[in-house]
Amino acid sequence: MLALERVSKTYPNGVEALARFSAAIKQGEIVAIIGGSGCGKSTLLRAIAGLDRASSGTVTLDDEAISSPHAKIGIIFQEPRLLPWLSVADNIGFGLADLPAAERRGKVARALERVGLADKADAWPRELSGGQAQRVAIARALVPQPEVLLLDEPFSALDAFTRRDLQDHLLDLWADTRPTLILVTHDVDEAVVLADRVLVMRPRPGRLFDQIEINLARPRDRNSPLFDSFKRNVLTSLDRSLDRNVPDRDATQGPGQAMWW
């Protein structure tokens, strides 16, 4: 279990990016974090990853305090961040340097197969499309089998079609080992299609505003009325988080809904 206890972060320049954020996330749960720009989502994720230290509060994974990057926690950024001097296969195997070469090769080959890029093993990162590069980044993060995988707007730079494709693909990969997924997104659709629970944040200072459980069986049908109603719930909550007036929670199309971010 991943426990966040009153995690706060004030940057040296005085910006209070995160204030007393608490949450408990079960092993294997998929949590989406959504909120306006600048409300501390990346700050939160970086604190969980151990890349930055919280100013106060604690992050614990299975009772172990996290203050620096941990073997059981992986992260995928908005950009693939592949190492341009390594082939696709070597990028995927980057976190496996401690394994014997044969074992590493086997794992990398399976991962390549799994993300559908077996034919690209020897390609350079620059030869990949944006979607393919992000697949490699996903494989690189998953191949050491983390217990927690953090994703910071991982698909936001991709076109709508590729994004959907990768969302489905991510779920598929998740089912293999069922790590905890914490996904930052500003795409309501993405949050509802992937998450068991959506955490809505509000800005200045960044904090938890609302939680919405998505009690929908998988695979989820993006066109079902139930899916739509969950989406509306999330949107309404988002509008509230930004202090917009939303008189009626059931209003089908609030004026600011699509433009909240």
Partner 1 sequence: MSRAPSRLSRYARPLLGLALPLTLALGWELAVWLGWSNGRLVPPPSRVFATIVELARSGELTRHIAATLYRVGLGFVLGVVAGTLLGAIAGYWSLARRLLDPTIQALRAIPSIAWVPLFILWLGIFETSKIALIAVGVFFPVYLGVMGAILSVDRKIVEVGRIFRLSGPAMIRRILLPAVLPAYVVSLRVGLGLGWMFVVAAEFMGASEGLGYLLIDGQQLGKPAQIVAAIVIFAILGKLTDWLIEIATVPLLRWQDAFGRERGGA
Ligand X SMILES: Nc1ncnc2c1ncn2[C@@H]1O[C@H](COP(=O)(O)OP(=O)(O)O)[C@@H](O)[C@H]1O
Q: Which residues bind ligand X (CB under 6 A)?
A: 11, 13, 15, 17, 37-43, 206
| Out of 19, 45, 49, 151, the residue judged to bind partner 1 by CB under 8 A | 49
Minimal distance in Å, beta carbon 38 to Mg ion? 8
Place of tokens 């990346």: 42
Contacts of 7 (CB under 8 A, 6+ apart): 18, 20, 21, 22, 44, 47, 54, 56, 57, 58, 59
Place of tokens 């459980």: 213
Residue closer to ligand X, measured from CB, 120 or 202:
202
Site for partner 1 in 99-128 (CB under 8 A): 124-126
The span of 35-43, 64-72, 99-107, 143-151 binding Mg ion (CB under 5 A) equals 35-43
Question: Can you read off the two tokens belonging to residue 11?
Answer: 């940057």
At residue 244, the 3 state secondary structure works out as coil
| Out of 72, 81, 164, 240, the residue judged to bind partner 1 by CB under 8 A | 81
Site for Mg ion in 42-101 (CB under 5 A): 42
| Out of 79, 165, 168, 196, the residue judged to bind partner 1 by CB under 8 A | 79
Minimal distance in Å, beta carbon 26 to partner 1? 23
Q: How far apart are CA 12 and CA 5, in angstroms?
A: 21
Q: Which does 133 bind (CB under 5 to 8 A by kind): ligand X, Mg ion, partner 1, none?
A: none
Residues in binding contact with partner 1, number by CB under 8 A: 21
Q: How far is CA 29 from CA 163, 181, 186, 217, 253, in A?
A: 21, 6, 19, 14, 30
Of all helices (H) and strands (E), which one includes residue 208?
Answer: strand 207-213
Pairing label, strands 16-25, 2-10 = antiparallel
Residue closer to ligand X, measured from CB, 9 or 120:
9
Residue type, 226: L
Question: Can you read off the two tokens belonging to residue 157?
Answer: 């730079």
At residue 30, the 3 state secondary structure works out as strand
Question: Can you read off the two tokens belonging to residue 12?
Answer: 């040296």
Residue closer to partner 1, measured from CB, 126 or 252:
126
Q: How far apart are CA 94 and CA 40, in angstroms?
A: 29
Residue closer to ligand X, measured from CB, 38 or 144:
38
Minimal distance in Å, beta carbon 221 to ligand X? 30
Interaction site with Mg ion (CB under 5 A): 42
Interaction site with partner 1 (CB under 8 A): 49, 51, 68-71, 74-75, 77, 79, 81, 83-86, 94-95, 97, 124-126
